[in-house]
Amino acid sequence: MPEKVAVESMVEQTRGILRERIRSGELPPGTRLRQERLAEELGISRTPLREALRLLAADGLVELQVNRGAVVSTLSHADRVAFWEARLALEPGAARLAAERRDPEAIAAMASAIAAQRSAATDTQGFAANRAFHLALVGAAGNPHLTRFAEALWVRTVGAAIYRTQASDPAVVAAYADEHASIAAAIEAGDAGRAETLTRAHILASPVPDAAD
């Protein structure tokens, strides 16, 4: 039994390391993940590495291709549209629930994410803060099922790709932070209708770029 626990822990650690490298762009879409090289670099055997890659494939971050092995997933326009539509279906309702609940810790987490977004020096930092705010918003609803949906949704790099396209202008980044602050204020005030409306408007105002962009 101890050996099994150790292996499972190694799989999760490996999954986390590779997931962050993919999210950050260190491993861009289309990159072939050579198992022998990765196993040597990470100091692990190929058994936990293969399992970690299988889990990343389930997350949508990696594609397991015949004769090519594992490759970092590429993002189609359909992927971006699906991500945007899923957020539009999930987050406004979560904001309403969050305003009805008014959990101080959740509100503080949103405020922390907004501060990080305002001080972000790079697109990577900006996206991380943006993602943290939206996960905190859904988490503020206090519903573990919604939280799992949101975490599964935001784990993919599609959100980072969209953010980089939309946030090339510093004024746009500042506007995002201002909109986040308005949403958080509505939640803190317990104004469920306004929180839901602002969240929906925020997502609608950030449409998916055209396929040619």
Residue 46 included in any domain: yes
pLDDT, tens digit (0-9, with 9 covering 90-100), for 95-143: 999 999 999 999 999 999 999 999 988 877 888 899 999 999 999 999 9
Domain annotation covers residue 211: no
85, 27: one domain: no
pLDDT at residue 73, as a whole number: 83
Beta strands in the chain (DSSP E): 32-33, 62-65, 69-72
Q: Is residue 213 part of a domain?
A: no
Query: Do 171 and 200 share a domain, yes or no?
Result: yes
| Domain boundary, last residue among 29, 47, 72 | 72
Asked whether residue 198 is domain-assigned, the answer is: yes
46-59 and 35-42 helices cross at what angle (nearest 10)?
A: 110
- Together in a domain, 24 and 124: no
Pair 43, 116: CB distance under 8 Å: no
Residues 197 and 135 placed together within one structural domain of the fold: yes
Which residue has 């308005």 as its token pair?
182
Q: What is the CATH number of the domain that holds 117?
A: 1.20.120.530
Indicate whether 155 and 170 sit together in one domain.
yes
Query: Looking at the domain assignment, is residue 98 inside a domain?
Result: yes
Q: Are residues 60 and 83 in the same domain?
A: no
Position 210 pLDDT exceeds 60: no
Same domain, 68 and 81: no
Whether 111 and 67 map to the same domain: the answer is no
Evaluated on CA atoms 197, 102, 172, 128, the torsion sign reads negative
Task: Give the Cα separation of 86 and 96 in Å (integer).
Answer: 16
CATH classification of the domain holding 11: 1.10.10.10
pLDDT single digits (tens) 4-22: 445 568 898 999 899 888 8
Number of separate domains in the chain: 2
What confidence tens digit (pLDDT) does each residue in 135-172 have? 999 999 999 999 999 988 887 666 666 666 666 667 77
Residue numbers of the domain that contains 58: 2-72
Q: Does residue 189 sit within a domain?
A: yes
- Rounded to whole angstroms, the Cα distance separating 197 from 174 reads 20
Q: What is the pTM of this model?
A: 0.73
Instruction: Give CA separation, 115 vs 29, 48, 79, 126, 194, in Å.
Output: 30, 38, 29, 10, 22
The tally of CA atoms less than 13 A away on the side-chain side of residue 61 is 28
In a domain, 15, yes or no: yes
Asked whether the beta carbons of 92 and 200 are under 8 A apart, the reply is yes
Query: Is 146 contained in some domain?
Result: yes
